[in-house]
A and B are shown apart, each in its own frame.
Chain A
Amino acid sequence: MTGTATPAHGAAKPTHVRRRVPVRTPHQAAKTGGGRLGGPLAALPWALPAFAFVGVLLVYPFFRSVYGSFFEDNGFTSSFTGFDNYTRLADDPIFGRSLLNTLMWVAGTLLLPVLAGLLIAVATHRMRCGRIAQLVIVLPFAISGAATAVLWNFMLTSEGAVNQVLRGVGLDGLAQPWLLEWPQNTLSMIVASTWQATGLNVVLFAIGLRAIPRETVEAAELDGASGWRMFRYITLPQLRAVSVVVVGMAIVNSLKAFDMIWILTKGGPSRSSETLALSMYRETFRLFHVGYGSAIALVLSVIVVASSWTYLRRQMPDTSTTAVQS
């Protein structure tokens, strides 16, 4: 984190690399700072609309939330209570369950969509109908979380399609009200979101696979590597850059998961499948514990920012952007 937004390879930074402008009279060449560009203030109006939107509707509410989390606020009256909300969080069993569910979402998302995405991408790489298979798996990615949840609600209810299939193949014992008991409800929602989220990972991994230089693969083949050893010692290391991105995105998205849970269980029954994102919403807009809700939001934000740090570091404007070859 150096304080400049210049890429390390200065080639793409016009303001930094001040070339001599070819002019006729030599005494004009001595003028530095690109007199034609006007003063530094000339650029401000271009950034102001974005700044106004983001500043008023995102940055200000953010700080207001931080500030509000130190108050006991029920929507009508508010009084300063310091870190009270946070100590209450620590003692709240619902918060503990919520945190556990959130962690389950993160672990489940890393395990299922990321791993499935990698396997499918590797399996369909250079396959005859691989592109078509990939397209089918990417399709749900274009469907909203809400619509996915509605569809899976239909699959997961007690009389839903999943139980139908289980009974159909004689596994009656396994048929159960998927959404009505913890931990099944959280787990089955993770499966539902896997159906939606895997496609994106397949696409990203496929791009990474195509970027592996042919020479590397051929050299490995000459050395007699194939199958598992090829995957383990050639493919996986070459996919490291993409993996960082996929994992980073998966973590952040699983922490933010809301639509799916809200539609399928509303965080219930009896708040058993709530995640931090849901708890904040319920506390703030259903129970009007505004200050408490803000405290939850802040805890969630800290977790999100901390865990997306790796991902962000690669996205920093001051590191040279190594474009993924597609």
Chain B
Amino acid sequence: MGRTVRHVFVAGCVLLWLIPLYLLVVNALTPAAEYAGKPEWTFQGFALLDNLDTAWDVAGIGDSFQSSLLYAVVCGLLAVLVAAMAAFAVVVLPIPRPAFWFWLIYSGTLFPLQMFLAPLFGLYADANLYDTRIGLMLVYTAWAVPFAFFLIRNQLTTMPPELTEAALLDGASFPRIFWRIHVPLMKAGLGAAFIFQFTAVWNDLLLGITLSRSPDVQPVMAALTTLNNAYSSAGPPVILAGALIVSAPTLVLFLVFRGLFLRGVTASAR
């Protein structure tokens, strides 16, 4: 590629990618009352806080935001812990048939969610878990375990077995070895797995709309969908402000922990 062509191409791509983001910001700033029915390309005033406020309170994004934060943090942590224990068992401990256990747990990532939805709905209806926070948390955790397990397992296999042997000779018990040796050494991998699964749970829409209905249980993406369905009545500025709100946590996580994100991506791309 000629140097100029290359620079023009990159600049063009960057511009194309920035335009939607620019429109998002500009129109989220536009006062809802002054929105003229078509997208604004220039700043029309500064009503961002009002729009955020409307989306947060009136449209009910706020309640869902808190629910989703709870789901994503708790399920992310729980899934990483459960997955780390399983990976420890499969890689370090002498579990019989490690391949069977690996595939059993990993198979959860292979199939599209649609494969689980109908029976899950039936199961939840029977167990009175439908439309409850605890029900959503259970399914989110289960859904987050397989991939976290995969990431952590990959990291564990790179550790020298002498570590475990030395600790065993010193008379350490399994829990002690796990907490004192493997967990500190796997900090980066565990962090990457948590960020990945936090993002996955936070961004989920399908499980949310299938297994919950009431505003105080619904995850945030479902609330955004509801708001978007009122496109004409709510007004695009408020809806885009809502989109900004739901994107903020994952964007911040991504920008702060870019290194960990990349580690996770490369670990999954082997």
Contact = CB atoms under 8 A, between A and B. Distances in A.
Majority SS at the chain B contact face: helix
B86 interface: yes
Contact of B113 (A53, A55, A142, A256): A256
Interface stretch (B44-52, B185-193, B198-206): B198-206
Nearest to A257: B112
Interface string B218-254: 0001001100100100001001101100110011011
A314 interface: yes
B168 A54 contact: no
Interface string A148-189: 011111110101110010000000000000000000000000
Interface string B119-148: 111110000000000000011011101100
Contact of B17 (A11, A140, A144): A140
A318 B43 CA distance: 57
Interface stretch (A34-42, A90-98, A103-111, A215-223): A34-42
A49 B77 CA distance: 14
Majority SS at the chain A contact face: helix
Interface in A265-324: 276-277, 280-281, 284-285, 290, 293-294, 296-298, 300-301, 304-305, 308, 312, 314-315, 317-318, 321-324
Nearest to B200: A144
B99 A318 contact: yes
Contacts of A150: 224, 228, 239-240, 242-243
A12 interface: yes
B20, B21, B202, B239 pick with most chain A CB within 10 angstroms: B20
A119 B9 contact: yes
A37 to B, nearest CB: 5
Contacts of B142: 53-54, 56-58
B40 to A, nearest CB: 10
Contacts of A36: 168-169
A153 B118 contact: no
Q: How many of chain B's residues touch chain A, expressed as a range?
A: 35 or more
B93 A139 contact: no
Contacts of A46: 85-86, 88-89, 93, 95, 174, 178
A153 B112 CA distance: 25
A142 B254 contact: yes
Interface string A211-251: 00000000000000001000000000000001001100100
Interface in B148-184: 149-150, 153-154, 157-161, 164-165, 168-169, 174, 178
A277 B10 contact: no
B210 interface: yes
Nearest to A120: B13
B111 A305 contact: yes
Closest 8 CB pairs of A and B: A14-B161, A43-B93, A46-B89, A50-B86, A142-B254, A144-B203, A57-B142, A64-B119
Given A304-B111, A321-B270, 18 more contacts: A5-B98, A43-B89, A46-B88, A51-B101, A54-B104, A54-B107, A55-B104, A61-B123, A64-B122, A130-B10, A139-B254, A142-B254, A154-B240, A160-B38, A203-B265, A255-B112, A263-B225, A280-B114
